[in-house]
Amino acid sequence: MTDRALVVVRAGALTTVQDEGRPGHAHLGVPRSGALDAPTAALANRLVGNPPTAAVLETTVNGCALRPRSTVTVAVAGAPCPVTVDGRPAAWGAAVRVPAGALLEVGTVVSGVRGYVAVSGGIAVEPVLGSRSTDLLSGLGPPPLTDGTVLPLGTPGAVHARVDVAPQPAPPAELVLRVSLGPRDDWFTREALDTFTSRTYRVSPASNRIGLRTEGPTLERARPGELPSEGMVLGAVQVPPDGRPVVFLADHPTTGGYPVIAVVSTRDLPIAAQAAPGTPVRFVAARRR
């Protein structure tokens, strides 16, 4: 019987299993999780003939190295990076055949932050609440990969896409996030609201899958005290006591007590996953009717 599995030779800075996540469990305190750059994860799956629901690997900055125990088709997408098979250059953004026992090396990104590695058949770890995603906040799903981890693979389905290279958006030189103000924008001064929507911030190195943290001007509150904990949504822009906005991403907490000044459009969140530390960030408020 063919051994459908991947051996992790080098786990990299942070490599996790991700799929479309586990939405619908916020009332239980469970974040949605899932791939931060969902369109790219879906593209990688399509390139190897997987359905969009299949689990992939999400890498961070310096990639990973994998050795399949059987011949597989692999696609690496997301942040541009070098790809090799047994030391020989292979295509990025296209389907690549990796023989059994060969070493697939996903290198350090040239730009951006996160890469997505799809393997024919998908990563077949045990699902939790309907998802195979690693959730860094709650600890649900498989733990982040470590050297020597063995990942089971599913059965390949459709024939992989026969393209030279699939077009993908470049990582942002400037991150422009469209926001709807509220629900707690009244907790901030008029000057703070003007600052929030007119000044430039930068992505903080402290950013992670839970939230995109920013560096830049502080936002002054119009009222003292703290809110009771209330529900938090994907894309919520929370302002902690240091006055610098934090954009909640896939592993965000489901409740919080700091005021939410605005909510980012879900259409802009995938590109936020590829914004490297130091990238300029602008918040653009939608017009109110």
Measure Cα distances from 37 to 66, 116, 172 in Å: 21, 9, 13
Q: Walk along the chain (289 residues) in steps of 10 and give the mean pLDDT of each run.
A: 88 98 92 96 96 97 98 97 98 96 98 98 97 96 98 89 82 97 96 98 97 98 90 96 97 95 97 97 81
Contact between 8 and 145 (Cβ < 8 Å): yes
Q: Which domains, from first to last, does the chain contain?
A: 5-152 (no CATH), 175-285 (2.40.100.10)
Beta bridge mates, 56: 18
User: Do the beta carbons of residue 75 and residue 96 sit within 8 Å?
Assistant: yes
The whole-number pLDDT of residue 288 equals: 54
Q: Which of 130, 127, 118, 123 is nearest to 151 (CA)?
A: 123
CB under 8 Å to 236, separation ≥6 — which residues? Answer: 247, 248, 252, 256, 260, 263, 264
Q: Does the N-terminal peptide bond of residue 183 adopt cis geometry, omega within 30 degrees of 0?
A: yes
- pTM summary value: 0.95
Q: What does residue 29 show for φ and ψ, rounded to 5 degrees? A: 80, 20
Q: Dump pLDDT digits (tens) for 183-215.
A: 999 999 999 999 999 999 999 999 999 999 999
| pLDDT at site 286 | 83
